[in-house]
Structure 1
Amino acid sequence: MITLTRRHMLSTLAASPLILGPAGAARAKVADVTWATWESNGKAEYTNTFEGRTGVKVRRSFLTSEDAQFAALKSGAGVDWDFLNPSLNGSSRYVKGGVLKALDLAKVPNAARMYDAFQGQDRIKGADGRTYMIPYLWGLNPIVYRADRHEKEPDYGTLFDPKYKGQLAMRDYALEAIAIAGLHMGIDRAKVFTMSGPELAEAKKVLVAQKPLLRTYWQSIGDLTNLFATGEVTCAFSWRVPYDVLKDTMKMGMAKPAAGIMGWCDCFAMPAGISDERAEIGLAFADYLLGPDYGLAVARGGNYATTTPVIRDQLTPAEQASIFVNDMGIMKDFLWPVAPPNYADWLKAWNEVKAS
């Protein structure tokens, strides 16, 4: 049984312009939709064109963690979400968990234009062969640091160095944090996401020992950026946002550890219980995320690349280099996180680290 919230009922009944799907067919009237996404992906200026074109207001519900998003879907706490933002690395639990709606790619023409690296990903398909997620945005997660406070470029070992006690930060995300501990322990990058039980236990010990060295486990990239600006944090496993925001006003660095550069890819999805009317808007929105308007806005406003090359030739060589589309071979050097089959054990270990 699908439970309709008061917001869904009112917004469905509200008068608004007709929606035009990818093929130009008239769609149902819906006043607004809510997109659960990261604050760096969902700035208002990135979706203004879609709103103006369709008359549908895109509201944001900013995520705090990947794990929290999945838990909300499983528990029903995410009932007000229309569009979702699961990561490619954790896609299997969403697909196998039955929380997503199958997507009709015939209504998302730009999906056929994705780079080969993102085409036909088995992880976004169910046992029924249907597609449940669409990769739309990708990049790398570096170590960001204050270059005026660090004499040399940090690596993962710096995040465990007592010399910088109180100045370090880690993202509150089990998959990446435990993998970083594994890399710091010397586990091969090819095996770091399939650690054995004893290796996972050792990684937990390493993270427990690290905890007193940290200023914070960050959830909001805006909060982390502010901590860099005030000097409370000088080195963090991060998104690139603090570097981009602060590099023109202070000496900032963005390190790519030799042990493995963490690549990431965000996907578009919809909850299994979404109405047909909202799902039609969702497919149009997915096509927009893969198209030139969002692509150009997020490339120049956020230094991120979409999974299609539709705006690549509009960028200067420097802009292409900034989002790593000048040489797509860089993807071969990325360490793409993959949630292991025993991810529940990883989550348990991570919660025990934070509670220690």
Structure 2
Amino acid sequence: MADDKVKTGTGLVGETARGVSRRVLLKSAAVLGATTVAAPYYVKRAFASSGELNILCWTDELPEPVLADFKDATGITVTKTPFSSNEEQINKMQATLGQGFDLCMPSFNRAKDFQFLEVLKPFDESKVDLSAYLPSLLKASSDLWTWDGLYHLPHVWGTEAMTWNNEANKLSYAESSYGLLWDPEYVGKVQMRTYSGLLGLGLWMDATGKLPTNRMLDSYKDEATMRKIYDELTAYAIEHKNQIRQFWDSTDSIQAGFRENGCTIGQTWDGPVKAMIKNGEPYTFMAAKEGALTWMDGFALSAAAQNVDEVYAFLSYIGKPEVAGKIATSSNYNAVIKGADDYVPAADKALFRSAYPENALDKLWWYPPAPAWFNSVRNQYAERFQAA
């Protein structure tokens, strides 16, 4: 256990999600009516059944050491099927109607997609210790994922923002802007993801008055407004596409972009870069002054789940503060469980502080719930950008 009492994302999220709190977050644990789970009972039941658990998961959010410890504690073997985007996950669940998976890991703002697909079933809340979760993050799930029951439980949260090679760039928070990715100084040295790169471009153009969009929230109003905004963004991005060295789509491709493919700056997830920094590599991950793009991933129960006792044994296990702290440390994302911050090493806390200096935590840009039409239209613009 670290003795550094400075908080990281787990300790600060209730304070730093003020913007999203007004929309979807704040609710007390008492209102949620949490019932404490009897973990040993469910572990015992799991021993009596298959001893297997199949999870469709993000590539780096279930660290192998944690799964090995879980097997030692319960006898349950977790089999992971990795994916690198919500679209890939949705396609897999839709293709099999959930068969072959007990749990999947949707991002919290994709509730409408999964409700439409009808490939999930609600959790039995009497078998989950809801009081273990940070109330603001649990409510982010419960507000969007409750129809005939609760369909989503938080797992980790993180951001996408600015990364640069310290040997090639000397930058401060005042200079950390999505606009740098379009500066001729960095031509041919940039990596980004297509659709979130367009979002970052929009936040910069909004902040500079080039394209006022209410911090890009106007693009969620209606399809006509969204298309008007994205027509301009995509035209600008295509005109300046020589800035881009590569488009990334996963943890591995982010790291390869910097290590092997000549990128010196980019807009990336936090976890892959924090892993590089902890490995001694000369990189900085920092919130853009326009606001770090903030997401939260969680667990949902497949309608075709076969190993249900194992599911609840697993949720009980990762709901322990010491386990949640280990997940945060190993994955380099932020925990959602109360008390997990006490089990995060001082070095990781220092990384968190350097990633979110000054007022960066007050400016987090939480992905809002997307209207039914939004993601398919957004993907059309992303594909146009990539193919240009």
TM-score range, shorter chain: 0.7 to 0.9
Which residue in 1 is equivalent to 2:21?
A: none
Residues 1:330 and 1:135: Cα distance change in structure 2 (over 3 Å): farther
Q: 2:215 aligns with which of 171, 189, 212?
A: 189
Aligned to 2:256: 226
1:237 corresponds, among 267, 272, 279, to: 267
| Percentage identity across paired residues of the two chains | 20
**2-side partners of 1:206 and 1:151: how far apart?**
26
Are 1:161 and 2:183 matched, yes or no? yes
Distance 1:198 1:177, change over 3 A: same
Q: Distance in 2 between matches of 1:69 and 1:318?
A: 33
Which of 18, 41, 50 matches 2:70? 50
Cα distance in structure 1, aligned partners of 2:43 and 2:64: 24
Partner of 1:6: none
8 Å contact from structure 1 (residues 142, 239) kept in 2: yes
Query: 1:102: Cα distance to partner?
Result: 0.7
1:199 aligns with 2:229: yes
Larger relative helix fraction: 2
- Of the candidates 73, 98, 104, which is equivalent to residue 118 of structure 2? 98
User: Take 1:124 and 1:280, find their aligned partners in 2: how far apart are those partners?
Assistant: 25
User: Which residue is 2:379 aligned to?
Assistant: 347
CA shift in 2, pair 1:307/1:91, >3 Å: same
Q: Which whole-Å CA distance do the structure 2 matches of 1:274 and 1:216 have between them?
A: 38
Please name the residue that 1:120 is paired with: 139
The residue that corresponds to 2:300 in the other structure is: 269
One-letter amino acid matched to 2:364? F
User: Partners in 2 of 1:279 and 1:312 — Cα distance?
Assistant: 29
Q: Distance in 2 between matches of 1:320 and 1:44?
A: 22
Q: Which moved more, 1:61-70 or 1:345-354?
A: 345-354
The residue identity in structure 1 corresponding to 2:170 is: E
Distance 1:71 1:280 in 2: 26
8 Å contact from structure 2 (residues 160, 294) kept in 1: yes
Helix, strand or coil at the partner of 2:294: strand
How many Å apart are 1:271 and its aligned residue? 1.8
For 1:265, the aligned partner's letter is M
Shift in Å at residue 161 of structure 1?
A: 2.5
Are 2:177 and 1:146 aligned?
A: no
- What is the Cα deviation at residue 123 of structure 1? 4.2
Is the counterpart of residue 252 in structure 1 residue 276 in structure 2? no
Distance 1:330 1:258, change over 3 A: closer
What is the distance in 1 between the residues matched to 2:365 and 2:127? 32
- Once the two structures are TM-superposed, the CA of residue 332 in structure 1 deviates from its matched residue by 4.3
Separation of aligned partners in 2, 1:242 and 1:98 = 32
Alignment match, 2:18: none
Change (3 A) 1:330 1:115: farther
Judge conservation of contact 1:89–1:336 (CA < 8 Å) in 2. Answer: no
Matching residue of 1:81: 101
Q: Which amino acid aligns with 2:135?
A: D
Q: Distance in 1 between matches of 2:305 and 2:345?
A: 40
CA–CA distance in structure 1, aligned partners of residues 236 and 189 of structure 2? 18
Q: Scaled by the length of structure 2, what TM-score is found?
A: 0.76
Q: Give the aligned CA root-mean-square deviation in angstroms.
A: 2.8
Distance 1:313 1:94 in 2: 34
Tell me which amino acid in the other structure corresponds to 1:164. Y
Q: Distance in 2 between matches of 1:203 and 1:224?
A: 23
Q: How does 1:36-47 map to 2 (within 5 A)?
A: 36-47=56-67
**CA offset at residue 144 of structure 1?**
1.2
Q: SS state of the match for residue 90, structure 1?
A: helix
SS in 1 for 2:69: helix
Residue 3 of structure 1: aligned partner: none
User: Which structure 1 residue ranges, 5 or more long, are not aligned?
Assistant: 1-19
> Amino acid of the residue matched to residue 340 of structure 1?
A
Q: In structure 2, what is the Cα distance between the partners aligned to 1:22 and 1:66?
A: 33
Query: Alpha carbons of 1:295 and 1:330: their partners in 2 closer, same or farther (altered >3 Å)?
Result: farther
Inter-partner Cα distance in structure 2 for 1:210 and 1:127: 44
Which amino acid in structure 2 is aligned with residue 93 of structure 1? Answer: D
State the partner residue of 2:22: none
- Cα offset for 1:88? 1.2
Quick one: distance in 2 between partners of 1:258 and 1:330? 7
State which of 331, 334, 343 in structure 2 corresponds to 1:305: 334
Q: 1:44 to 1:67 in 2, by over 3 A?
A: same
